[in-house]
């Protein structure tokens, strides 16, 4: 089978795949364009791609020999999986237990950085504007005793809640299904979504993306939030209306934000780029060696299982 890999991947995973497939690889972290993928996919039986590659109807139609699309990542909203199914093309994702830990740690790092002005403070110092310790200089806020609101209490949300409790924070959450046992074990409180938005000092988003959640956080929600609140988004970009977010920060409806994902990724709203009280991270949520290796192993196994005429365990369509 001929396998097209559209991004640089860990060498260990590549070496394993080379034992099973005839491989064409775009060995770079600079993404291929839509048209380049459409051209390169011709004649290949399998595709391994990162979640930043949009695999739409046009690419699928160009791939006359394609039998499987293996996403390198737990998400798969970048792939038109339903259309692929009509062409008898299997789509798989690559969940990794370490991904939830890595993303929760990143979200917590964003929260600390925003609360203590670490990123803008670094910039200030490098610009020569640090003149020594002063009682009122560049004050931030402790996390201890503050309320963290989590929307989406899946594995990432749970890992974030555990870390927040260790820092002495109050944790409230909204999720489609209540997690009664987790609530009792970690002393966290379930509330309706609007109450979580209103009552949080830090509001952290951890929902999977579905079209109904487009702009889940927009002008109305920013009006509901505390003026001292900080928004954290390490889930999916389109759940936040970036234009509304920029206006909310500029107009001081909220105190700031820390983002790892973007509505039109990799593009970022120009207004956000110039705001010192908005931290912008380049989608590093699960960018750890541990998580990316687990994902790679999962994607590798999906491809090999398919080649051996087995149903891949992470088939999603």
Is 215 in the active site? no
Q: Which of 183, 265, 290, 297 is catalytic?
A: 265
Specify whether 292 is catalytic.
Answer: no
- Of the candidates 52, 59, 63, the one whose C-alpha atom is nearest the C-alpha of residue 2 is 63
User: 34, 214, 283, 290: which one is catalytic?
Assistant: 283
Candidate list 236, 263, 292, 300, residue with the active-site label: 236
Based on the residue annotation, tell me whether 283 is a catalytic residue of this protein: yes
Residues involved in catalysis: 236, 265, 283
């Amino acid at each position: 089978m001929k396998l097209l890999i559209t991004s640089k991947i860990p060498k260990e995973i590549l070496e394993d795949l080379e034992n099973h497939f005839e491989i064409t690889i775009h060995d770079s972290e600079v993404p291929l364009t839509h048209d380049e993928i459409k051209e390169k996919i011709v004649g290949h039986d399998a595709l391994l791609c990162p979640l930043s590659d949009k695999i739409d109807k046009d690419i699928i139609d160009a791939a006359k020999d394609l039998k499987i699309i293996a996403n390198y990542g737990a998400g798969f909203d970048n792939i038109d999986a339903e259309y692929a199914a009509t062409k008898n093309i299997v789509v798989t994702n690559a969940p990794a237990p370490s991904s939830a830990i890595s993303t929760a740690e990143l979200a917590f790092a964003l929260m600390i950085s925003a609360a203590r002005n670490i990123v803008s403070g670094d910039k200030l110092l490098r610009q020569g504007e640090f003149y020594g310790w002063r009682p009122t200089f560049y004050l931030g806020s402790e996390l201890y005793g503050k309320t963290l609101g989590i929307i989406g209490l899946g594995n990432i949300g749970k890992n974030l809640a555990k870390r927040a409790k260790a820092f002495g924070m109050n944790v409230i959450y909204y999720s489609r299904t209540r997690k009664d046992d987790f609530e009792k074990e970690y002393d966290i409180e379930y509330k309706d979504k609007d109450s979580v938005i209103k009552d949080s000092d830090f509001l952290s988003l951890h929902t999977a993306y579905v079209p109904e959640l487009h702009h889940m956080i927009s002008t109305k929600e920013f009006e509901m939030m505390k003026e001292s609140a900080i928004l954290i988004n390490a889930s999916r970009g389109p759940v936040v209306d970036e234009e509304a977010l920029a206006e909310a920060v500029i107009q001081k409806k909220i105190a700031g934000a820390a983002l790892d994902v973007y509505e039109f990724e990799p593009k970022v709203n120009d207004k956000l780029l110039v705001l010192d009280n908005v931290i912008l991270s380049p989608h590093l949520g699960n960018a750890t060696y541990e998580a990316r290796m687990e994902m790679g192993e999962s994607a590798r196994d999906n491809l090999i299982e398919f080649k051996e005429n087995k149903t891949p365990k992470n088939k999603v369509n």
